[in-house]
A and B are shown apart, each in its own frame.
Chain A
Amino acid sequence: MNRLAPILRTTLALLGQLPARAAWHGRRALAFLAGDPQADRAVPPTGFTAWLTLLTAGAMAFLAVFALALALATDRLADRWGAELAQTATLRLSAPGEELAAQTAAALRVLEQTPGVAQARALTPEENQALLEPWLGPDLPLESLPVPQLVEITLDGGDFDAAGLRARLEAEVPGAVLDDHTRWRAPLIEAAGRLRGLGVLSLLLIAASTGAMITLAAQAALAANAQVIRVLRLVGARDIYIARAFVRRFTLRAAWGAGAGTLAGIVAVWLLPSADTAGGFLTGLGFQGAGWLAPLLIPVLVAVMAFAATRAAALRSLRAQS
C-alpha cells in the first residue's frame, strides 16, 4: 500500500474535522486573494521581480512534480518488491543422484505439513535448465552436472515459521537449504526506501530553493520601492498594510507560476511510456489513480510558502528601513 496515502488521508480528515476553523481561514484566504485594489495600486508593479517569481515558481513546481512522482513510484515499488518476495521461499536440495528424488519427496512431505505454506512444487529439469541458461548457455548437459533440486514454496501469508521449518528439514532432510528471500528482500526494500528518501529530499530542496528565490525577489522589490514605502509611512500606513500589498502580489505570482509549472509537469509525466508497454523501473514513474491529484497540492503549497516567505521578508525589511 502506498505509504504516503495515509498521510494525505489524515490531513484531509483533520481539515474535515475543523469546519468552523477551516471556514474562517477560508474566508480570510479569500479576502486576502481578493485583496484591496486601492492598496494594491499603492505599490507599482516591478518587472524583473515579477518575472523572477513566476519563472522560479514555475520551474520549481515542474521539478517538484517529478520529485513527487519519484517518491510515490518508489513507495509503490518498495511495497511491491516487499510483498512479492515475502510471499515466496525456495528450498535447495543437494544430494547424490540416486538420493535426490527421495530427499525431494521427503521435503515436500514436510512442507505439506508446515503451517503458512500454500503450495510447494519441485522445479522440473526444463525449469532448472531455463534458470541456468543465461549463465551457462542453452546446450547445458544438466543430467551430467550435480545441479541441486529447487523447490518453489508459495506462502499463504499465515504464520510461516522459517526457523522452525529449517530445524525440521535439518532433522528429516539433511542437506536441504531454505531461502526465505530475506537476504534479497532487505537490500531491495532498502534501495527503494533510499530512492523514496531522495524524492522527498528533492521536494524539500525544491521547496527551500523556491522560498529563498521568492524571498530574494521580495527583498529586491522592497528595496526598489523604498520611496513608495517612505510615502506610505508618511501618511500613516502600518507595516502590515505595506507588507500585505507586496505579500499578496508575490503570493499570486508564485501560485500562477507554480500552477503553470505543475500543469506542464503533469503533462510530461503523463507522456512517459506506461510500465505495461515498456516494462522496467523508470517507465513506472507516472502517478496512479488518486495519485494524479497529489501534484495539485503543489501550487497551493507554493502559494502558502510564498505567502510566509514574503511576509517574513517584508516585515523584516520594513523594520530595517525604519
Chain B
Amino acid sequence: MIEFQSVGYGYGGRTLFQGLSMALAPGSFHFLTGPSGAGKTTLLKLCYGELVAPQGRVMLWGRNAGAMDRDAVALARRRIGIVHQDCQFLDHLPVAENILLPLTVAGRQAEGDANLRELLAWVGLTQQAGQLPPELSGGERQRAALARAVITSPDVILADEPTGNLDWEMSQRLLTLLIELNRMGKAVLIATHDLNLIRAAKAQVATRILRLRDGRLQQAGADL
C-alpha cells in the first residue's frame, strides 16, 4: 500500500535520512522509534503526501507520490487515517462533526450517521459528542482523533506519538483500539518514544519495530 524506495530527505543542509526503504502491507503493525529530531514525523508526512521526497520514491498504492497532483494526493489521504500528537481539530465544530469530517469532505455524510454512534461508543465519547474540542481532556482528544482517523475505514492508520499526552491506562485503551483495527486488516504505523507501549503491543500482536537513527532505518525489537 505504502512503499518507500531508497528515500532520502533533509532540510536546511542537514540530511535526516537517506536510502530508506520499507513497505506497509495490509494487516501489518509497525512501530517507528528513534531519538527526537531523527525524522519520525517527517517520515509519516512522506507517507501521506504532505512532504515530497527529493530522493527516491514514495509509492502510494502503486503510484509515485512525487508525481501525483494535489487532487490525487487528497484522494490517497482518504485511504489513510492520521492521528496527530496535537490532534488538530476544527475547534468551532462539535466533536461529532469533527469525527465525521473525513466523510463530509468525501461527500459521504450519509455513511457517517449510521457509524457515528457506534464509533463514539467504541472510543468512549458518547457523552462528549456535542462538546467542542477545546472542552475535551487530552485523552478524550486522542480518542476523538482516532475515531476521526478510522471513520472512513481507511486501509492505513498512521499515528504520531498518539499516547504522548496520555496516562498509562489511557495509552493502553488507545493501543487496544489500534490493535482491534489491525485485526480488521488495517495497516498500522505508530511513531512513538514510549517503549512500554511497544512492549505492551508486542505481547498482543505481531509487530515490526523500526528504529530511525543516524539517518538510517534499522530493524529493532530484540532489545525491547
Q: Which residues of A contact B (CB under 8 A)?
A: 38-39, 41-42, 44, 227-228, 230-241, 319, 322
What's the nearest-Cβ distance from chain A to residue B38, in Å?
Answer: 22
Q: Are B77 and A41 in contact (CB under 8 A)?
A: no
Determine which of A38, A41, A231, A237 lies in contact with B88 in the assembled complex, contact meaning CB atoms within 8 Å: A231
- Of the listed stretches B14-22, B53-61, B99-107, B201-209, name the one at the interface; the rest are far from the partner chain: B99-107
CA distance A227 to B152 in the complex (A): 22
Q: Are B82 and A234 in contact (CB under 8 A)?
A: yes
Whether, in the assembled complex, B92 has its beta carbon less than 8 Å from a beta carbon of chain A, the answer is yes
Whether, in the assembled complex, B117 has its beta carbon less than 8 Å from a beta carbon of chain A, the answer is no
Q: Are B90 and A233 in contact (CB under 8 A)?
A: no
Whether, in the assembled complex, B186 has its beta carbon less than 8 Å from a beta carbon of chain A, the answer is no
Q: Are A236 and B75 in contact (CB under 8 A)?
A: yes
Q: Which residues of A contact B77 (CB under 8 A)?
A: 233-236
Determine which of B48, B78, B89, B109 lies in contact with A231 in the assembled complex, contact meaning CB atoms within 8 Å: B89
Can you pick out 15 interface pairs between chain A and chain B where the beta carbons lie within 8 Å of each other? A38-B97, A38-B109, A39-B104, A42-B101, A231-B88, A231-B101, A232-B105, A234-B84, A235-B82, A235-B105, A236-B74, A236-B105, A237-B105, A239-B70, A319-B70
CA distance A239 to B74 in the complex (A): 8
CB proximity to A under 8 Å, residues B39-93: 48, 50, 70-71, 74-75, 77-78, 82, 84, 88-90, 92-93
CA distance A144 to B132 in the complex (A): 100
**Chain B interface size, under 10 / 10 to 19 / 20 to 34 / 35 or more:** 20 to 34
Known contacts A41-B93, A42-B93, A42-B104; is-contact A234 B88 (Cβ 8 Å): yes
Q: Which residues of B contact A233 (CB under 8 A)?
A: 50, 74, 77
Whether, in the assembled complex, B148 has its beta carbon less than 8 Å from a beta carbon of chain A, the answer is yes
Known contacts A39-B104, A41-B97, A42-B93; is-contact A236 B78 (Cβ 8 Å): yes
Q: Are A38 and B104 in contact (CB under 8 A)?
A: yes
What's the nearest-Cβ distance from chain B to residue A235, in Å?
Answer: 4
Q: Which residues of A contact B97 (CB under 8 A)?
A: 38, 41
Q: Are B88 and A239 in contact (CB under 8 A)?
A: no
CA distance A134 to B213 in the complex (A): 103
CA distance A39 to B107 in the complex (A): 9
Q: Which residues of B contact A (CB under 8 A)?
A: 48, 50, 70-71, 74-75, 77-78, 82, 84, 88-90, 92-93, 97, 100-102, 104-106, 109, 148, 152
What's the nearest-Cβ distance from chain A to residue B125, in Å?
Answer: 18
CA distance A237 to B93 in the complex (A): 16
Q: Which residues of B contact A228 (CB under 8 A)?
A: 90
What's the nearest-Cβ distance from chain B to residue A69, in Å?
Answer: 44
Q: Are B71 and A235 in contact (CB under 8 A)?
A: no
Q: Which residues of A contact B70 (CB under 8 A)?
A: 238-239, 319, 322
CA distance A286 to B101 in the complex (A): 52
In order of increasing CB-CB distance, the 3 nearest A-B pairs are A236-B78, A237-B105, A236-B77
CA distance A278 to B151 in the complex (A): 73
Q: Which residues of A contact B93 (CB under 8 A)?
A: 41-42
Q: Given contacts A236-B75, A239-B71, could you give 7 more A-B pairs where the C-beta distance is less than 8 Å? A: A232-B105, A234-B84, A234-B88, A235-B105, A236-B105, A238-B70, A238-B75
Q: Are B102 and A235 in contact (CB under 8 A)?
A: yes
CA distance A52 to B152 in the complex (A): 38
Known contacts A41-B97, A42-B90; is-contact A235 B148 (Cβ 8 Å): yes
Q: Which residues of A contact B101 (CB under 8 A)?
A: 42, 231-232, 235
What's the nearest-Cβ distance from chain B to residue A241, in Å?
Answer: 6
What's the nearest-Cβ distance from chain A to residue B157, in Å?
Answer: 13
CA distance A276 to B101 in the complex (A): 64
CA distance A237 to B76 in the complex (A): 10
